[in-house]
């Protein structure tokens, strides 16, 4: 091979390699751009998760407080029901006594 042909071959190969390097650079730029978009999305998702966690914590606290209030209310209602049962027993007893007295008076 002559020196000119060898130089042409080398130049041709260098040109082909440079084209491949340029294509790879473009592809790497595209990949970098997409990774940057994914990073931004991940940051947004992380922020959303943090906000939702804060809302869930707040809701959990409020539900706990409401649960305590409901338990206290249930205890108070239980006491009222016990008092009502006692009063009902007394009322029934008095009504029965009145009924018995009326029956006795009626038959006498």
pLDDT of 1 above 60: no
Q: Structural domain boundaries of the chain?
A: 1-80
How far apart, in Å, are the Cα atoms of 105 and each of 86, 93, 97? 29, 18, 12
The Cα 89–Cα 66 span in angstroms is 34
pLDDT digits 0-9 by tens, 8-38: 989 999 999 999 999 999 999 999 999 999 9
For the stretch 38-68, pLDDT in tens is: 999 999 999 999 999 999 999 999 999 989 9
Q: Tokens for 47, please give them.
A: 């922020």
Q: Which of 79, 86, 78 is nearest to 94 (CA)?
A: 86
């Amino acid at each position: 091979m002559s020196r000119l042909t060898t130089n042409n071959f080398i130049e041709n190969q260098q040109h082909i390699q440079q084209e491949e390097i340029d294509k790879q650079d473009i592809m790497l730029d595209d990949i970098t751009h997409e990774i940057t978009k994914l990073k931004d999305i991940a940051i947004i998702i992380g922020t959303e998760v943090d906000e939702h966690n804060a809302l869930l914590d707040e809701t959990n606290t409020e539900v706990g407080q409401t649960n305590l209030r409901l338990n206290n209310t249930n205890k108070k209602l239980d006491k009222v029901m016990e008092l009502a049962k006692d009063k009902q027993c007394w009322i029934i007893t008095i009504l029965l006594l009145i009924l018995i007295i009326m029956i006795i008076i009626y038959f006498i």
